[in-house]
Amino acid sequence: MTSEILISPEPQALIDTALALIVERILTAVGERQSCAIALSGGSTPQPLYAALAGADLPWQQIHIFWGDERYVPAEHPDSNYGMAKQVWLDLVPIPPANIHPMPTDLTEPQLAAAEYERQITTYFVPATGAIPVFDIILLGIGDDGHTASLFPHTAALTVVDRLVTIGDKDGQPRITFTFPLINQARSVIFLISGTSKQAALAEIFAPMGDLAAYPARGVRPQGELLWLLDAAAGEQLGSGT
């Protein structure tokens, strides 16, 4: 794993940096492997990034979009990560509908949805027996509590190592989420983090002897690269480096 912290002076510069890095990695993946599989995060921070990607000149026929986590709500619900990306990005570009892979939150039970999404991922990648699929890009954020995806502090999802997708628990509300084994197989994991409210969690995430159960983002250690993209408000107590 290679790890790097990049701090932008303000939020728009953060989005500009993220856009350039993601476009570069999409084009590299398509050039090397004829396709790019990217998993999106939710929340307010990446929304302007997705809007910017809508204006990018990209090989849409060769890009496949997945989600790293999702609230268990219908696609048209205002809290839907899929719905947000669809509205500001995916509806605005000529990406084939078959290339968009939302989490199936319309099933009767979250457990069924997690198993179905794992099946869809495995089918897309067709990995060797026992191999974990390798996403080209996984986008993540963190919460003020140090969670990432829907891997929340002191929850059962943190210990799942035999599944690619599992159930996250946010105050008793189920969510669907990638597990650490799937996240950590990625070629590139990119965190996008903004705001002073993230400073305390970042300090614990980067602490030499921190607690993964209390700050789950500590568990993200991909086999490829790990990029922490922060604005100055979030990264005030951190320096840039590798």
Per-residue pLDDT of the chain (242 residues; tens, 9 = 90+): 899 999 999 999 999 999 999 999 999 999 999 999 999 999 899 999 999 999 999 999 999 999 999 999 999 999 999 999 999 999 999 999 999 999 999 999 999 999 999 999 999 999 777 799 999 999 999 999 999 999 999 999 999 999 999 999 999 899 999 999 999 999 999 999 999 999 999 999 999 988 999 999 999 999 999 999 999 999 998 864 43
Distance from C-alpha of 210 to C-alpha of 201, rounded to nearest angstrom: 11
Domain boundaries, the chain: 2-230
What is the dihedral angle through the alpha carbons of 8, 11, 15, 17, rounded to the nearest 10 degrees?
-10
* Beta strands 225-231; 63-67: pairing state: unpaired
Q: What is the pLDDT of residue 128?
A: 74
Distance from C-alpha of 72 to C-alpha of 93, rounded to nearest angstrom: 26
> Tell me, which fold does domain 2-230 have in CATH?
Rossmann fold (3.40.50)
Helix (H, G, I), strand (E, B), or coil: what is residue 49? helix
Distance from C-alpha of 68 to C-alpha of 175, rounded to nearest angstrom: 11
DSSP bridge partners of 178: 165
Q: In 10 A of CB 100, how many CB atoms?
A: 16
What is the dihedral angle through the alpha carbons of 195, 200, 202, 207, rounded to the nearest 10 degrees?
160
Helix (H, G, I), strand (E, B), or coil: what is residue 65? strand
DSSP bridge partners of 69: 177
What's the residue count for the chain? 242
Distance from C-alpha of 10 to C-alpha of 233, rounded to nearest angstrom: 8
CB 136 within 8 A of CB 29: yes
CB 221 within 8 A of CB 162: no
Q: What is the pLDDT of residue 239?
A: 61
Q: Which secondary structure element, helix H or strand E, spans residue 201, and what is its range?
A: helix 199-205
Helix (H, G, I), strand (E, B), or coil: what is residue 43? coil
Q: Residue 126 corresponds to which amino acid?
A: V
